[in-house]
Structure 1
Amino acid sequence: MNFDLSQEQMMIKKTIREFAQEEVAPGAVERDRDKKFPLDIFNQLANLGVMGLPFPEQYGGAGADTISFAIVTEELSRACGSTGITYSAHISLGAAPIYLFGNDTQRIKYLIPLCTGKSLGAFGLTEPNAGSDAGGTNTSAYKKKNEYIINGNKCFITNASFAKFLALTAVTGKKKEKKEISAIIVPTDAKGFTIVNQYEKMGLNASNTTELILEDVEVPQENLLGKEGEGFKQFLQTLDGGRIGIGAMAVGIAQAAFEKALAYSKERKQFGKQLAKFQITQFKIADMAMKIELARNMVYKAAWLKDQGKPFSKEASMCKLYASEICMEITSQAIQILGGYGYMREYEVERMMRDAKLLEIGEGTSEIQRMVIAREVGCI
């Protein structure tokens, strides 16, 4: 087993870490407070050539691997969770389905703008009554001549306000009373397509989270991804890849909280000595470091399996579940180490804890991950 990063991966890590420290981190507090989307940062990331990082060069990508994607997501999230989730969703939810299931014409038309940063990627899956139970999708698409007529609404959709198009799931028919769900690419400027950006969120305030309303939206049948009825299978595969991104996000946020707590424990004095000299603080710091390393290794393993073309559903769920839960734990402990200062916005760890909570919910809750793992190990 070789745990060394390749030269290319190390170069990507160095480049993105420097970029994140210089361009992303300085405005994170203000963006969270003002709910300002970091559009300028994504224009710069496009110039760096990472908006299509794991996709082939023929579609405007960089031809890199999933581990590199995880590295970039971790480093961006270490500086700002909102930036991290925007990037992760762009790659794993927006661009990946088009690459995985689209034909070459669709890839040229839709994947190239995503890889070059001309549009942000988004994916319309969740509905008011179809969250963990994604099979409960009620958005419908029926055929009329050479078009699909789509009606329904989606909620909690990341990046849609900055996407020129997105793939979404809709019921296109029934087979033996079972819904046949398909994935269809829909331009966001289509007549009858409305994006509502009014959510008041606990965290990740600088990211874009929207509701989609579709009223008799017409798109050509050529916008179907793959075949009719394959949408359910497609989004399950899409979410597997997305869970690696969420795991990487969690590692990045946890790493940032750990670094804040460690630095503070060396500076702050209580009862005549540094907090870091107290064994109880040392034990907290040691546990934090250990859990972050374990989570990072699990993320890299899932990413490596994906890159090798091996099954990775179990490992993706494990890395997402473990990393998200230790991220919540570590950000909470970081606040505890900082004490009253940890509760203050300027010290940033309170933002990290608010951002971390979504990671236990999005792309499959912790409960869903445990169901997936139980199934994969033969329990179900």
Structure 2
Amino acid sequence: MEFSLNPEQQELVEKARAFTKEWISPNAVKYDRSGEFPLDICREAFKQGFMNPHVPAEYGGTPHRVLDHCLILEEMCTGCSGIATAIDANGLSQYPVILAGTDDQKRRFLAPMTEDLMFSAYAVTEPEAGSDVSRVKTTAEKVGSDYVLNGIKWWITSGSVASWYFVLARVDDKPTGFIVPADSPGIVRGPKEINIGQHASNTVRVTLEDVKVEAKNRLGEEGDGFQIAMKTFDHTRPGVASGANGITKAALNIALSYAKRRRTFDKKLISNQGISFKLAEIMTRLDAARYITYKAAWLFDQGLDNGREAAEAKWFAADVAMQAAIECAQVLGGYGYTNEMPAEKLIRDAKIYQIYEGASEIQKMIIVGKLMRMKEVY
């Protein structure tokens, strides 16, 4: 059992860390306060090969293993998870195409994204269908050999900047996946949502009003959509967990630095057990979250079932990040309640990890479902 990074992975980490220090960290406050989309940083990320890390080589990509991708995301999210999400969100919509797309679909929708800076979006969530994807109400009516889509998609990451969407809709009662170009007549993009955190990430409502989709843009067969969506999460949840781990690392570094230099009652704050034990607990939880995350990613890379481990990683890492951000604010005292220090931003940014790509409660349901099929735990 090997716990160290190989030279290639270490090089990736160092490259991502350098990019984060030069481009993400110095701009985190700017984009958090303005709420603008960090197009300039995405452009540089594309130039350096950080975008579209899952596109297969035959379609112009330089694909990373999921574990390698997790290492990169942790570094970027240490600088700002909102900016990192803007850079990385393409993967969520690309993977359904990688998984179920035809060669023609991959050449038309994936290959161009390796040639120039482009964005895509995963349009599944609806006002009444979040974690419970089976409640999707968007319809796809068969008209001749094509389809006409109607419905509302909500909280769509990169929705305003996307060139195309992966859309889950119902053909009769069969959940089905479609690739929908964003310039299709009938696509209406709403204003950016005002979220409490990850302000650099673009989140909007997307309405489909009699949107015609050609049959050649259907992913898989009618009724395959739910399985495509679920398999996509097995691929992406380790990355989400890594983003949460990045927030935990950022919180720990801020709290540790402050505790080492702050003096109270004639001694450094870190010499107070009430403070030092908090730091020890965060470090231990971060290590545990990392190992679960790496295991989930490694399993996927080996072609093995990682459903339980991906759920464990996503749930545990998200909760660890939320707790670490709150404890960081506590260590900072009054500074933790102001925007002079980044603890309050970390709290706002961390919360979404307990919600998107399946809330923490959904992850626990997945784990329990796996346990119910086991005779005993080995």
State yes or no: 1:312 paired with 2:306: yes
Query: Which residue in the other structure is 2:276 paired with?
Result: 282
Q: What's the offset of the Cα at 1:8?
A: 1.6
Query: Which residue in the other structure is 1:135 paired with?
Result: 134
CA deviation digits over 1:117-161, x for unaligned, max 9? Answer: 531131111000111221111100111123211100100110111
1:206 and 1:339 map into 2 onto residues whose CA distance is 27
Query: Which residue in the other structure is 1:43 paired with?
Result: 43
Report if aligned partners of 1:114, 1:120 keep a CA contact under 8 Å in 2. yes
For normalisation by structure 1, the TM-score amounts to: 0.96
Query: Which residue in the other structure is 1:357 paired with?
Result: 351
The equivalences for 1:366-377 within 5 A come to 366-377=360-371
2:13 and 2:192 map into 1 onto residues whose CA distance is 35
Query: Which residue in the other structure is 1:296 paired with?
Result: 290
Aligned partner letter, 1:143: K
Q: SS at 1:161's partner residue?
A: coil
Query: Which residue in the other structure is 1:73 paired with?
Result: 73
Q: What's the offset of the Cα at 1:379?
A: 6.2
Identity over aligned residues, as a percent? Answer: 37
Aligned partner letter, 1:252: G
1:6 and 1:114 map into 2 onto residues whose CA distance is 29
How many residues align? The count is: 374
> CA 1:306–1:146 in structure 2 vs 1: closer, same or farther (change >3 Å)?
same
1:56 and 1:238 map into 2 onto residues whose CA distance is 15
Report if aligned partners of 1:94, 1:120 keep a CA contact under 8 Å in 2. no
Q: SS at 2:67's partner residue?
A: helix
Query: Which residue in the other structure is 1:324 paired with?
Result: 318
Aligned partner letter, 1:129: E
State yes or no: 1:5 paired with 2:5: yes
2:144 and 2:373 map into 1 onto residues whose CA distance is 46
The equivalences for 1:69-148 within 5 A come to 69-91=69-91, 93-148=92-147
Report if aligned partners of 1:157, 1:210 keep a CA contact under 8 Å in 2. yes
State which drifts further: 55-64 or 68-77: 55-64
State yes or no: 1:189 paired with 2:183: yes
1:333 and 1:113 map into 2 onto residues whose CA distance is 44
1:340 paired residue among 327, 330, 334: 334
Aligned partner letter, 1:137: V
1:182 and 1:353 map into 2 onto residues whose CA distance is 36
CA deviation digits over 1:239-281, x for unaligned, max 9? Answer: 2222112101100011001000000001111111110111111
State which drifts further: 79-88 or 30-39: 79-88
Q: What's the offset of the Cα at 1:76?
A: 1.0
State yes or no: 1:172 paired with 2:166: no
Aligned partner letter, 2:104: T
Q: SS at 1:232's partner residue?
A: helix
CA deviation digits over 1:88-112, x for unaligned, max 9? Answer: 4221x12111111101111111112
Aligned partner letter, 1:161: S
Report if aligned partners of 2:38, 2:86 keep a CA contact under 8 Å in 1. no
Q: What's the offset of the Cα at 1:116?
A: 4.2
- Alignment gaps of 5+ in structure 2: none
Q: What's the offset of the Cα at 1:38?
A: 0.9
Q: What's the offset of the Cα at 1:52?
A: 2.4
CA deviation digits over 1:54-93, x for unaligned, max 9? Answer: 33222121132101111111111110010222234221x1
1:199 paired residue among 193, 201, 208: 193
State yes or no: 1:149 paired with 2:123: no
Report if aligned partners of 1:156, 1:211 keep a CA contact under 8 Å in 2. yes
Report if aligned partners of 2:42, 2:86 keep a CA contact under 8 Å in 1. no
1:311 and 1:55 map into 2 onto residues whose CA distance is 21
2:142 and 2:323 map into 1 onto residues whose CA distance is 49
The equivalences for 1:10-49 within 5 A come to 10-49=10-49
Report if aligned partners of 1:51, 1:116 keep a CA contact under 8 Å in 2. no
CA deviation digits over 1:316-375, x for unaligned, max 9? Answer: 000000000010000000000001111121311110110000100001111111100000
Q: SS at 1:377's partner residue?
A: helix
- Alignment gaps of 5+ in structure 1: 174-178
1:56 and 1:133 map into 2 onto residues whose CA distance is 30
2:271 and 2:116 map into 1 onto residues whose CA distance is 48
Q: SS at 1:197's partner residue?
A: strand
1:275 and 1:165 map into 2 onto residues whose CA distance is 51
1:116 and 1:367 map into 2 onto residues whose CA distance is 39
Q: SS at 1:334's partner residue?
A: helix
Aligned partner letter, 2:2: N
